[in-house]
Structure 1
């Protein structure tokens, strides 16, 4: 059965390469065009107050709507035998709750709503970006940097509020030899302020790279004519990988947030 399905898919791909091959094949690949931010109404004149509504605005709003539909509408029944929507919502809730509890500790559970919101927004934005002709808002450093800075400022303020000057113990490695402690303190301080940079670039870079690779293979498919099935197969493989990356990057961003939260609550080495 698996062999039959494989050859059937291969036949469809080959047939599509023959039927939809361009009359004048040419190599024209512009993988970064898909990340261009464009106004939805005219040349930027369609505004809501001081703001210009762009494709990024639209897809971020759609991500928020998707979250509301899943977590609020999908689970409003509170059924003992849950529907599919309620099951997914409960799984997401339990997954993030366990992550916060295991990584940051039980005293961090009070911050669970914010971390859950962060995880779901990134997850929905990533998955919506996999829809053909859509826009991936998390591929832009402008979005991921704001998210990372929110986390950075919050955990820093929380660290000083909870621990006072004792929060600086995060940078003082008391277990190291005394002569090395000042050097390690400088290194720890630099690495701390680099956190929002690595936090944001990791997410935006991985999402952007995957989409650019798919666009490159799509350009090859348009240029190869009857042999377009080769890049189409590659696109299918990369797309499957991107589905996994969409979840993993949301998970990595969230678990790093939990790690930073733990440092704020328990700063001593």
Structure 2
């Protein structure tokens, strides 16, 4: 956002991340529909249209929508199988859901006047906590107390093992933080930079350079939207692998 204040150009790149109620007012409660709610719903609808409506024909010669769905399906399936192993394939629907939601939420945020839902830690934090709780529960259900072997580095010298175990425990509980901050931070930074360049487009002298910069940043953000969805998903697969095969 850019505006003239006291003859100077004022930039407000963080204003685009403000949460507003959809139906007026200023108070926001846990049940209040907001712009975040709206664009998360649009992302879910987009996933439904691609994977359910677009593939409903299940034709031998697929339509464009079905072809795209099949490509994404095969890509994520291979990711799960390669990283988490054959045991991880049974959790493929969960991983696929995460990937599709994030990639659509990221991509939709590039539409003018839209909202970047994955730039909010409240959104990415919930996704990361769900992954953390899920893989931890899977680990204990499958291995019981043996899951704690994930924290015991048996290959290390015996005197170092207790110290390494403490480090492993701390790093394990930091996972949701790093998992969520990586996604939200990248999305927020990219959109803020584009907003800054857009603000300078109002200055006639540097307007052409600003337009070029915005175009370049937009192309980069398209790539980031997909890459960050991939990174979040492959880390989920890595954590799932640790739950299925906890021994160091």
TM superposition score normalised by structure 1: 0.88
Structure 2 distance, partners of 1:56, 1:46, is 12
Within the alignment, does 1:240 sit opposite 2:215 as a pair? no
Match of 2:151 in 1: 171
The C-alpha deviation readout for 1:139-163, integer Å capped at 9, x for no partner, is 0000000000000001111111100
Number of equivalenced pairs? 244
Contact 2:119–2:187, Cα closer than 8 Å, also in 1: yes
Post-superposition, which runs of at least 4 consecutive aligned residues in structure 1 deviate over 4 A? 44-47
Shift of 1:62: 0.3
Contact 1:64–1:121, Cα closer than 8 Å, also in 2: yes
Within the alignment, does 1:40 sit opposite 2:9 as a pair? no
Within the alignment, does 1:114 sit opposite 2:91 as a pair? no
CA 1:263/1:63 → structure 2, altered by over 3 Å: closer, same or farther?
same
The C-alpha deviation readout for 1:123-146, integer Å capped at 9, x for no partner, is 000000000110010000000000
Within the alignment, does 1:230 sit opposite 2:212 as a pair? no
Match of 1:70 in 2: 50
Within the alignment, does 1:194 sit opposite 2:178 as a pair? no
Q: Which runs of 5+ in 1 are unaligned?
A: 1-21
Match of 2:109 in 1: 129
Shift of 1:227: 3.1
Higher relative contact order (CA 8 A, sep 6+): 1
Match of 1:264 in 2: 243
Structure 2 distance, partners of 1:172, 1:42, is 54
CA 1:144/1:246 → structure 2, altered by over 3 Å: closer, same or farther?
same
What SS class does the counterpart of residue 28 from structure 1 fall into? Answer: strand
CA 1:153/1:236 → structure 2, altered by over 3 Å: closer, same or farther?
same
Shift of 1:106: 0.6
Task: Give me the CA root mean square deviation.
Answer: 1.7
Contact 2:200–2:206, Cα closer than 8 Å, also in 1: no
Structure 2 distance, partners of 1:86, 1:159, is 35
Shift of 1:46: 10
